[in-house]
Amino acid sequence: MRLLQWGRLAAAILSLTTFVFLFLHDSWRADNLFLVPDLLLIVALAVAAGLPDPAAKVALPVAFAYAAGVLATSAASYAVESEFGLPSTLGALLALTLAALLTARRPDIPATLARR
């Protein structure tokens, strides 16, 4: 399977698990600071995963970078409370890794296109 397909799959899974997390932890409260960022994360990953290849190659790294930021901030908020947010930490690491991999320069890109 190509990296782009793995990225799509990971984006869909991360989007879905974040959505489920909101229900399991009763996070639909107005005082939840992460509600809007989480909803944006869900939409960004889901939309990026469903785009055609040329657009997905641009949108997935951006969505993963955003997700990494939101999830790293979530993990840090647990740390401030002397807890360890394993799901947030794993999600942030996954998103950061995929953002980096999807933006890495690959030899399959012709030199003329890489300069644009």
In this prediction, residue 27 has a pLDDT band, given cuts at 50, 70 and 90, of confident
Cβ atoms within 10 Å of 100's Cβ, excluding its own: 13
Q: In the chain, what are the domain boundaries?
A: 3-105
Query: Among 92, 76, 81, which residue's Cα sits nearest to residue 41?
Result: 92
Number of residues that make up the chain: 116
Cβ atoms within 10 Å of 3's Cβ, excluding its own: 14
Q: How much is the pLDDT for 103? A: 93
Q: How much is the pLDDT for 63? A: 98
| pTM of the predicted protein model | 0.86
Task: Record the tokens describing residue 30, joined without a space.
Answer: 């107005």
- Averaged pLDDT, 98-113: 75
Q: What is the DSSP letter of 39?
A: H
